[in-house]
């Protein structure tokens, strides 16, 4: 189970409408949402990996400490949700080093994992994986093997692999289901789109037929249907962001009842050792 820790106004689809310079003037809702998620996971004894923005950690250090105190893994989501595909090499290096440092300082544990904002590592910038390894990261969960209008590398492997060298950084793609010669997503906004029994069937099929562990993800703002509504966005963006937010918390609860969940590092790094 993984959670991308960012607030509603930081999503990439809102970037043309909400400037980063305005973030400090917007009331954050992430901390109360994370506390609800921690309680939800605790009810079923589920553990997760929280890919956290450095910007968020800097402003909510006690929240970060609660994540760690509850036995979850703390990982990096970069500093301020800059897409890797929009960064030069030196900018990306500074971003991942800075976010790793503050997360380790607050959380008190080594940060081993990284997830690129909007899964923005793909065929054109695989150099980013080398820089992650140089910076001390052990794994990435940044290449999404699907076709999407904003990200994706559909030809990439669906399961854990070493993209650059045999013993290098481990890449852990988000779970997809292979049907009709195409990869279908099982998490994120698609989890709100599909009826819950469809998502459950996807994951059961993955576990029982392909004998694989799933990597599921969601965002704290997805359980917050009372969040402020952004004006001036397209119908497509509005649908993707707001559809079924009011059902999301109950669906996550169902996931924690129907499957067993643990941290990324315990499931995948121990297998890779």
Percent of the chain with pLDDT over 90: 88
Give the tens place of pLDDT for each residue, 24-78: 999 999 999 999 999 999 999 999 999 999 999 999 999 999 999 999 999 999 9
**pLDDT the model gives residue 166:** 65
Mean per-residue pLDDT over the chain, rounded: 95
**pLDDT classification of 211: cutoffs 50, 70, 90:** very high
| b/e map 71-106, b = 16+ CB within 10 Å | ebbbbbbbbbbbbbbebeeeebbebbebbbebbeeb
* Mode of pairing for the β-strands spanning 113-114 and 182-185: unpaired
Contact 166, 76 (CB under 8 A): no
Q: What is the 3-state secondary structure (H, E, C) of the chain?
A: CEEEECCHHHCHHHCCCCCHHHHHHCCCCHHHHHHHHHHHHHHCCCCCEEEECHHHHHHCHHHHHHHHHCCCEEEECCCCCCCHHHCCHHHHHHHHHHHHHHHHHHHCCCCCEECCHHHCCCCCCCHHHHHHHHCCCCEECCCCCCCCCCCCCCCCCCCCECCCCCCCCEECCCCEEEECCEEEECCCHHHHHCCHHHHHHHHHHHHHCCCCCCCCEECHHHHCCCCCCCCCCCHHHHHHHHCCHHHHHHHHHHHHHHCCCCCHHHHHHHHHC
Give the tens place of pLDDT for each residue, 90-100: 999 999 999 99
Range in 4-18, 23-37, 85-99, 181-195 the model is least confident about:
181-195
Which has more confidence, 189 or 106?
A: 106
Of 56-70, 135-149, 151-165, 171-185, highest mean pLDDT: 56-70
**pLDDT the model gives residue 146:** 85
Q: Which domains, and CATH codes, for the chain?
A: 2-272 (3.20.20.370)
Its pTM stands at 0.96
Contact 144, 174 (CB under 8 A): yes
**pLDDT the model gives residue 271:** 75
Contact 2, 191 (CB under 8 A): no
Is 185's pLDDT higher than 90?
A: no
């Amino acid at each position: 189970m993984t959670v991308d820790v960012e607030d509603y106004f930081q999503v990439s689809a809102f970037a043309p409408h909400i400037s980063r310079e305005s973030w400090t003037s917007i009331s954050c809702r992430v901390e109360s949402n994370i506390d609800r998620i921690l309680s939800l996971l605790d009810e079923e004894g589920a553990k997760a990996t929280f890919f956290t923005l450095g910007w968020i950690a800097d402003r909510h250090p006690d929240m970060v400490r609660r994540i760690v105190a509850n036995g979850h893994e703390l990982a990096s989501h970069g500093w301020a949700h800059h897409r890797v595909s929009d960064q030069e090499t030196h900018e990306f290096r500074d971003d991942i080093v800075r976010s790793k440092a503050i997360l380790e300082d607050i959380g008190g544990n080594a940060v081993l994992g990284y997830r690129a904002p909007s899964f923005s590592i793909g065929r054109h910038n695989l150099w980013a994986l080398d820089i992650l390894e140089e910076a001390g990261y052990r794994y990435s969960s940044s290449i999404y093997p699907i076709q999407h209008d904003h990200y994706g590398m559909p030809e990439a492997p669906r399961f854990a692999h070493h993209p650059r060298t045999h013993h290098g950084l481990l890449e852990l793609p988000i779970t997809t289901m292979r049907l009709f010669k195409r990869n279908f997503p099982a998490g994120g906004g698609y989890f709100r789109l599909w009826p819950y029994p469809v998502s459950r069937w996807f994951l059961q099929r993955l576990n029982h037929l392909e004998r694989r562990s799933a990597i599921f993800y969601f965002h704290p703002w997805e359980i917050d249907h009372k969040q402020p509504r952004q004006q001036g966005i397209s119908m497509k963006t509005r649908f993707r962001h707001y559809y079924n937010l009011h059902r999301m918390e109950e669906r996550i609860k169902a996931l924690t009842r129907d499957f067993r969940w643990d941290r990324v590092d315990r499931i995948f790094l121990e297998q890779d050792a």
